[in-house]
Amino acid sequence: MELIYILVVVLFSAGVGGELCPKQCDCDMDNGLNRAMCVDQNIITVDMGVPKAVQVYSLSHNVISELDNFCFKDLGYTSLQMLDLSNNLIFWIGLHAFSGLDKLVHLDLSTNRLRYIPSDLFFETPELDTLDLSSNVFESLKNEPFLMHSKLKVLNLNNCRIKALPPRLFNRLPNLRKLDLSENYVTSLKTEVLTPLRKLERIELRNEFWLCNLDFIAVENWIASRGITYQKQCKKKVPKMSEKMIFLVPDVKKKEVDVSDIWNITTEKNDSAVEDTNKPITPFQKFDQDFSAVKAFILGIEIGLAIGIVATYVWLNRFCTCRALRCTRPQTRRQRRRRMQRFDGDMRTNLLWTTVVNPDLESPPSFRRQLSLPDRSAPFPTYGLPDVTEAPLQIDAIRVPDRSETPPPPYHDCRIII
């Protein structure tokens, strides 16, 4: 009785302390390995509560975007041998994200958003054998080792939008056996890229963009000389058998038949044609042969334009000379007033100048009598002589014409101020 009680307690304690498989996952065995399949469940993290003894862990078709440092080691997943993270949204992986996975052999990171990974990312997974990085976005690769791993044997870079393969890309993968570079944007390849891969056994280069130049043909010859499994891309196009059709016609000899015996042929002599060929061509006919209708039309337009321009110039020149064409603006009131003032000043100046230059005119202006001194002015005393006085000036003193210092008589004109 006591033995049964102890057995029940042990079984109960084992049931209580056991680990359960999460509802989002399916746990089973695969080839003797503990497997947990957590597929297409909108999972955002690797921590799903899966038991730590898991060996095959699949998290494909989810929405995981990042892998933090030590994310598997902190969860205790140190027994992982196969890890599937394909078809997620992973764009960043920490340098120590795979730390603690010493037994990891297969890693699938295909169909994610990786643009760059450190070359020593898998330094802490020494047993890694197969790495799938297909369908990522490794567009531009630097001239440095893409990965550094001494035991990696299979590398898949299919459909990664790679544009060029630098010479040092595979320098640190000495044990690589299979390489897939198909469905990329590479157009040329040199032998220097594949020379470090001394143990390469198979390579895939399926691509529509290859240029079959000398470098690529040399690479294909190098691959063939090493005995590497490879599907040749630059092939000579062999014509199909249906493109050439050969007919064997029996050799039948036929007699020659005179056409005049069968056909009704009448010959007419055309003397006019002979005469026309010997007749010389006139200059007009030669011009008609050399110049087409379009050239003649364009030449006529140019001549007409030239004649029109010359005629217009002559007409405008004559029209403007006769002052029939008025190109000035009408004068304003202020301009007319200034013009009249200048005209009046010029007229007064001309009259005064005429009086000075030609004093002996037929009808000179009448002299004006002006008083030299007032009538009540006293006689001027003479200085130095006592009791001697000069005669006073005459009242009717008149300008003597011969005296140059005498100014001309003032001219009083009638001015109408408007």
110 in Cβ contact with 135 (< 8 Å): yes
What per-residue confidence (pLDDT) applies to 17? 41
**pLDDT value at residue 274:** 45
Structure confidence by residue, pLDDT tens digits, 316-371: 887 765 555 555 566 788 888 888 888 777 777 777 766 665 655 555 555 444 44
Q: What is the pLDDT of residue 1?
A: 44
Query: What pLDDT score does 299 carry?
Result: 84
pLDDT of residue 273: 46
Side-by-side strand order, sheet with 33-37: 26-30, 33-37, 56-58, 82-84, 106-108, 130-132, 154-156, 178-180, 202-204
Name the amino acid, one letter, at 156.
Answer: N
Q: In this structure, what DSSP letter does residue 240 have? A: P
- Closest by CA to 197, choosing from 126, 231, 234, 147, is 147
Residue 177 to residue 160: CA distance in whole angstroms: 20
- For residues 214 and 190, the answer to whether their CB atoms sit within 8 Å is no
Rounded Cα distance, 393 and 373, in Å:
7
- How many other β-carbons are positioned within 10 Å of the β-carbon of residue 57? 23
- Chunked into runs of 10 residues, the chain (418 residues) has average pLDDT values of 41 49 92 94 92 95 95 94 96 95 96 94 95 94 93 96 94 95 93 94 93 91 93 68 50 63 60 55 72 79 92 82 55 82 78 63 50 49 53 50 57 55
What pLDDT digit, counting tens, does each position of 98-115 carry?
A: 999 999 999 999 999 999
Secondary structure (3-state) at 202: strand
Q: Which of 80, 84, 127 is nearest to 108 (CA)?
A: 84
